[in-house]
Every structure is written in structure tokens, then in C-alpha cells.
Structure 1
Amino acid sequence: MDHRKNIVLIGMPGAGKSTVGVVLAKTIGMQFIDTDILIQERTGRKLQEILDQDGPDAFKRIEEETILSLHPRRAVIATGGSVVCSEAAMAHLKSIGVVVYLKIGYDEMVKRLRNITTRGILLLPGQSLREMYEERVPLYERYADLTAPCSGRDLESVLESVLEAL
């Protein structure tokens, strides 16, 4: 792996991007960036507040602008689950790093998302979790350079599979 490159984690809400990202960054001695936290810092608001007050389109625009402003070196970047909805954001991320898809099944996602209403998950009006899942899977698969299966696995084994994939 090219160590000047960044590692970009993509995947469903609840896949463990932030959790795995922090530990991965520590393990391989890179910095850690969480784009959801960057969005909150930029706007001074929680993700759910942006979604509730401004709607999904505004959220997507803010997310895309935040991603396009990133130019890190040697960082592990945990992205929001909806980042794959922006071609521009994904093109930028692919140009600055290796994209790793943390893959979980639908049932696993539901189990992990107990705090769905406060979590800042981008669901379109009237869209179910199942529909969001079905819509995004092909996008994650399209943009991923590498895929790490994460369903039913603990942090350590997920970390091992990511390191192996890299």
C-alpha cells in the first residue's frame, strides 16, 4: 500500500466506519478524520438538526462541500453513509485514497441502528430503511476499491480483514 495515500471508509449507517476508523488510524499510525464531525463543526449543528431544518438536499450539498474541501495526507477518513449519493464527493475521495467498503447485511444494520431518529441518517421523504439499503448497496460496490465483510464480526476481526484487504 502507498503510505502517502489515505484510506477512505464507506458503508451503511452502523457499519462501524467511525469505530473501525479510529482504531485503524491508531494501529497504522495515521491521522483520523470523521466527515460527519467535520460537517457538525462547519455548521455548528448536529446532522439530525440539518436534516430536520434544511432537508436532505441541503444536507447532501453540505456533505459534498465538506468532502471536496478535504486534502489530507496519510489519513483514515470515515465518511457518512450517504456520501456515495454524490458522484463529485466519491470522485474526489477516490482520487485521494483507497476506498474500503465496510459491508454489513440489512438485518445487521437494523440491529445496530437503535438510535435511528437522532442519528442523522439521510432518508428521503417516505423512504424506508430497506429502500435506502437497496439503493446504496450497488453504489458502495461501484466505488469500493476493497470490500471488508463486517456482519456478525467484532471490532478486532473487522480490523484484521481491513488490514488484510489493504
Structure 2
Amino acid sequence: MKNIILIGMPATGKSTVGVILAKLLGYDFLDTDILISLEQKRTLSQIIAEAGYDRFIEIEGNIGKNIKHERTVIATGGSMVFSEDAMKNLSESGVVVWLDTPVSELEKRLTGSLADRGVATPAEMTFSEIYEMRAPLYQKYADIHILCSGATENVVTDLKDKLLREKLI
């Protein structure tokens, strides 16, 4: 049975939508950020601070390329799309969904610094610049693009309906 892989920016709701969608469909749920923290025995922000951006991207990619699950909703870290091997593995295991929220809404949801939240960014980039850098990759890998400007329940319903209607699961 196919997986559902959620990609998108930090704070777009991948984990929240993923948990609810998994429950509705009777799927398992997996959050790659949690896998990274467990494997590294540190928080994402600690990994980025101690190992650096490039090493974090490498660690995240290694996690993604080694996921071997079925019937699982997988919430990826926002920078997973930088690993071609990881995205190839994930894409082959199911349908990739880009949860896309307007940057202005994401900025309202984010509290504290991006580093404190464990957001991997090269140098000092604004959130808008990060979005502009990642959006083409999200678009490249996505089988489905869902705009997430409404309530979580509506996003989940829209996504579930689209997956079933298009016979993607």
C-alpha cells in the first residue's frame, strides 16, 4: 500500500495534517524530524548549531533515503527536498503532497528564531528567501499541490478527497 509523503515549509502543518490524515485513513504516521532527533540524540536546533547546515542536510537526506514503510503518512522536514536520493526513495514509495501555505501566514505561525525551531538555512536568509529557494523543489517532487490557507480540518478533508478521487491511495 502506498505511503503519503508530506513536503513543505516549516509551520505549514505537515505533522498536524499528517497525524489527522493517518488516523482517518488507518495509516501509520512518521515524522522525519523526530527520527533525526532520535538517531542523533539531539534536537534539530542542537544538530544545526553543533554540526552545521551542510551536515544537517546530509543527516536528513540519509534518514529520507532509508525509510522503508508502507501505509504510512510521512511528514518530512522542510529541507528534505535538498536530497535527491531521499526524494527518489520517498517518491517511489507513494504519493508526494506539497502542503503550501502563504509565507505571510507561516511567519505569523513561527515564534522565535528559525534556528531555535530547527529550520536548516544557509547563512542569514529571510523566511521569504528560504521559501523562494525551496518552492521550485517542492513543485518538482510534488504529485499533488494543496494550498493550506484554511483550517486544518479543511486541508485534511481536501487532501483526503483528492487522494481518493484521483485513486492515488
Same fold (TM over 0.5): yes
Most deviating of 6-15 and 85-94: 85-94
Per the alignment, residue 144 of structure 2 pairs with 146
1:82 aligned onto 2:79: yes
Any stretches of 5+ residues in structure 2 without a counterpart?
A: 164-169
CA RMSD in angstroms comes to 0.9
Runs of 4+ in 1 over 3 A off after TM superposition: none
Equivalent of 1:120 in 115, 118, 121: 118
Aligned residue identity for 2:14:
K
SS of structure 2 residue aligned to 1:118: coil
**1:165 pairs with one of 162, 165, 168:** 162
Per-residue deviation, 1:112: 1.2
- The alpha carbon displacement at 1:94 in A equals 0.4
Equivalent positions of 1:1-166 (< 5 A) are 4-115=1-112, 116-151=114-149, 153-166=150-163
TM (norm. structure 1) is 0.95
The CA distance in 2 between the partners of 1:111 and 1:89, in whole Å, is 30
1:116-144 deviations in whole A, cap 9, x for unaligned? Answer: 34210011112221111111111111110
- Match of 1:32, SS state, is strand
Q: Distance in 2 between matches of 1:74 and 1:130?
A: 34
Number of positions where the alignment pairs a residue of Structure 1 with one of Structure 2: 162
Distance 1:18 1:125 in 2: 26
Partner Cα distance (2:59, 2:121) in 1: 16
What's the TM-score, normalizing by structure 2? 0.93
